[in-house]
Chain A
Amino acid sequence: MIDFINLYLVPALTLGSIYALGAVGISMIFGILRFAHFAHGDVMSIGAYGVLTAVWFIPIHPLLLMPFGGALAVFSALAADRWFYRPLRKLPTIYTVIASFGVALILRSLMQILWGADNQVYVRGVTMPVVLFDTFRISALHAEAIVLTLIIAVALHFFLTRSRTGRAMRAVADDPELAAVAGLDTEKVIRWTWVIGASLAAVAGVFAGMDTDVHPNLGWNLLLPMFAATILGGIGKPMGAMAGGIIIGLAEELSTYNWIGEASLISPSYKTAVGFIIMVVLLIFRPQGLFKGRLL
């Protein structure tokens, strides 16, 4: 039992948290801008590199330098929207999807040019795990990721339901034309969507980078499970996406547990296929997801 928690459950929740933070942004962009943002993974990666660079200059704990990563990610997202997505806003959204495909490549190339393609780490050496109650050995990183994601989830919920901008965002997601008729500033809502989506993506990117290594494909590799999480939660339902992320993370990690007998349920090399399988099942049986999101 203890082993299960230490070696499977906690890492699963960590992975789920990373997915959750990324999926929220994707779901919001889906809901408000109505397209699948293929460059979201790379926005995560750029956030990770932003913090990495900051750590080189100010060698303190990466999480304290989060704002640098966030700023870089937000800047990239806003720039991509201004130069590449906004000009295509009036066309069928599939063109913006293609453009986001291109932005993914542009961001990835920039990362490879500026930082090189090798793996990099925030902190050298091994960090000691945190020991709780003499039995649970949890890495500090995992604890930080899970707790921070929880805090963000609560904050996000209050933002969306209590604040003016949050409500305006939900209104635009519901019906952009009615929102314009009601006098809402749609462009402002779009800007906020990028700011929030990119900031959360950066946090996810830093955790992912701290968990493994920082490399240009960091975010791109996580894109598929994050899309699955978005669909699972229901498109346009940010809180649903967070739940979806946690579920996908759990499913992925726990699929390698030896539930039956000695061997793991699914070979570890196919872990990433779990998200895809869940997505396929959803698309066949319930494309609107758990929380009845919008069917595009």
Chain B
Amino acid sequence: MEWTGLLFYLVGFLIAGGIYAILCLALNIQWGMGGLFNAGIAGFFAVGAYASAIVTTQASEKHLGGFGLPIPVGLVVAAVVAGLTGWAVAKICVRLKSDYLAMASIGIAEILRLVIVNESWITNGSLGIANIPRPFDGLVQGRAADFVFLAVVWAVVAMVYWMSARLHDSPWGRTLRAIRDNEHAARAAGKDVDWFRLQTFVIGAAIMGVAGGLSAHYFKFLSPSATEPLLVTFLVWVMLMAGGSGNNRGAIAGGLGIWAIWSLTEIFTNRLPPELATRSSYVRMLLIGLLLQVVLQKFRSGLIPEKSPPVRFDGNSP
């Protein structure tokens, strides 16, 4: 009884942790590899969530739907929609300094939130979309389905990690790091810096959309509050900085590590009386904010610092 409770708690923790790991891997591509500051993670997450939800749910008068497509299609649509949004943002800002991208990405996240809340014919506004399907809906139900979902999430984590590692070790990845470290030299060497940056941002945004889609299918319900910008955007940044930016393993480690701290402290604060409980959640935010500052000043390379992949000269180049 005690143990099954703990087990299912762990499953839930690992599912959320996996989704955060995906977000961290995506942000790592944008920031760690590309040096791009995305302050609008929540926006891409949200747009992907809604895209997948709309495409996979049954017809309803409350929102756009009725396509009833399978979940993998939903996730692909999520990636495409989020990627396109990312493309739009990056195209505007890519030749300008990173501060502009920060402002524009916050802006797009806000605009998307406005659209989600106001265009209720698409999204059912603040009331949200319900009955979002789970993968393998017909085969498993109830608690067992959570296990299945856990496997799905971590399969996606593995795929994203694999893809990210391939990108990192490839000539494309090396060029990207060269651009990140010394833009002028890269430009002088003839690299189309803007095009590389654009690709990086789009790929990261698309993956964030997939994370959003997974989240929608997990909770089976989606509303604007689920994409509360502070929690998603900020937490992911702290996770990546703490885990090690520029580094895929660090991204996953940071994701799970910070999520563990967040969830464990949530257990404590939930046991407090209600008046204290809300205040203590703010205390948690405060501490996470302070943690970010500490990491920025002292541990910039994070738990697992970046290591350059070996360049092979044996004729079989990667």
Contacts and interface: CB of A to CB of B under 8 A. Distances in A.
A94 B101 CA distance: 11
B296 A95 contact: yes
Interface in B134-156: none
30 contacts: A35-B99, A36-B103, A84-B293, A88-B296, A94-B35, A94-B98, A95-B296, A95-B300, A98-B292, A99-B296, A101-B39, A101-B237, A102-B296, A103-B289, A109-B282, A112-B282, A117-B278, A223-B106, A224-B103, A224-B110, A227-B103, A227-B107, A270-B114, A273-B111, A276-B110, A279-B104, A279-B107, A280-B104, A295-B96, A295-B97
B104 A283 contact: yes
Q: Which of A93, A99, A280, A296 has the most CB of B within 10 A?
A: A280
A283 B98 CA distance: 12
Given A99-B293, A295-B96, 11 more contacts: A94-B102, A97-B98, A98-B292, A101-B237, A102-B292, A102-B296, A105-B285, A109-B282, A224-B107, A272-B110, A280-B107
A227 B40 CA distance: 15
B278 A97 contact: no
A270 B119 CA distance: 11
Contacts of B241: 98
A267 B193 CA distance: 39
Nearest to B297: A87
B114 A106 contact: no
Given A35-B99, A287-B96, A94 B37 contact: yes
Nearest to B279: A113
A131 B98 CA distance: 48
Interface of A: 30, 35-36, 38, 83-84, 87-88, 93-95, 97-99, 101-103, 105-106, 108-110, 112-113, 116-117, 223-224, 227, 231, 267, 269-270, 272-273, 276, 279-280, 283-284, 287, 295-296
B169 to A, nearest CB: 25
B100 A113 contact: no
A209 to B, nearest CB: 19
Nearest to B99: A36
B118 interface: yes
Contact of B296 (A30, A98, A110, A227): A98
Contacts of A112: 279, 282, 285
Contact of B286 (A113, A269, A270): A113
Contact of B118 (A36, A38, A101, A269): A269
A112 B296 CA distance: 24
Contacts of B297: 84, 87-88
Nearest to B98: A94
Interface of B: 35, 37, 39, 92-93, 96-100, 102-104, 106-108, 110-111, 114, 117-118, 230, 234, 237, 241, 278-279, 282-283, 285-286, 288-290, 292-293, 296-297, 300
B114 A109 contact: no
B104 A296 contact: no
Contacts of A105: 230, 234, 285-286, 288-289, 292
Contacts of A223: 106
Nearest to B275: A116
Q: Which of B100, B108, B230, B278 has the most CB of A within 10 A?
A: B100
Contacts of B107: 224, 227, 276, 279-280
A109 B285 contact: yes
A94 B102 CA distance: 9
A40 to B, nearest CB: 12
A30 B100 CA distance: 11
A291 to B, nearest CB: 17
B225 to A, nearest CB: 14
Contacts of B93: 283
A48 B297 CA distance: 30
Nearest to B278: A117
A276 to B, nearest CB: 4
Nearest to A83: B293
B289 A109 contact: yes
B52 to A, nearest CB: 24
Contact of B237 (A98, A113, A267, A269): A98
A131 to B, nearest CB: 36
B292 A97 contact: no
Contacts of A84: 293, 296-297
A108 B296 CA distance: 19
Given A106-B286, A296-B97, A296-B99, A272 B296 contact: no
Contacts of A117: 278, 282
Contacts of B98: 94, 97
Q: Which of A88, A98, A110, A223 has the most CB of B within 10 A?
A: A98
Nearest to A220: B230
A283 B39 contact: no
Contacts of A110: 286
A36 B96 contact: no
Q: Which of B103, B283, B296 has the most CB of A within 10 A?
A: B103
Nearest to A35: B99
Contacts of A273: 110-111, 114
A287 B288 CA distance: 34
